[in-house]
Amino acid sequence: MTFEIIVFIAAVLFGIILYWTESKSNRLYRFFNKLTHSKELQMKPESRKGFIHQQDFLIRLVWITLLYLIVATVIAIVLPFVVNYIQYFISAIVATIIGTYIASLFLFARDKTKKENLEKAYNKGKESIGEFTQDIRDNFEPKEEIAPEPKSSTEPEAPKQSARDRLKDKGMIK
């Protein structure tokens, strides 16, 4: 159990170093990208994507598992005796993935917390809250009804009949 913990911690550190190194230079990924893709499908020069850096979880898992599978094959060939080391490699794969996410969270969080990005997020939040409160005001505040403007005609209005007189005119009462 102790050796597994040591492997886990070392793999977390390896994942952090792997992510940091690949974020600085992705030459190896570019090399394999040029080998495997046609000119039209190759990655753009400004792209920072690598095997681990800026990849989704499943792709990271595939590349890290492939890396540890190669290491396991080399160890199996080099060591003359059989060792049950599968648990160490599974622990190393999980820890390396955790290490890459720790690196992306802490080492590169400064890019996301620059003043311009924070101001942009603040303004966007302010606008969305303004829209939300405006929707609430529109839905829940009573709307004032506008009274029709009085006619400004010069004709004097005819005196209005009472309800009793109108009913008499219609012949409903005597």
Q: Across the 174 residues of the chain, what is the mean pLDDT of every consecutive 10-residue run?
A: 85 85 71 67 63 73 87 84 79 89 76 70 78 72 62 64 83 78
Number of other residues whose CB lies within 10 A of the CB of residue 5:
11
Structure confidence at residue 51 (pLDDT):
62
DSSP state of 157: P
Under 8 Å between Cβ of 128 and 121: no
Structure confidence at residue 38 (pLDDT):
67
Structure confidence at residue 111 (pLDDT):
64
Per-residue burial over 84-100, b if 16 or more Cβ lie within 10 Å, else e, is eeeebbebbbbbbbebb
Q: Is the dihedral of CA 89, 92, 94, 97 positive or negative?
A: negative
Alpha carbons 164 and 174: distance in angstroms, whole number: 10
pTM of the model as a whole: 0.53
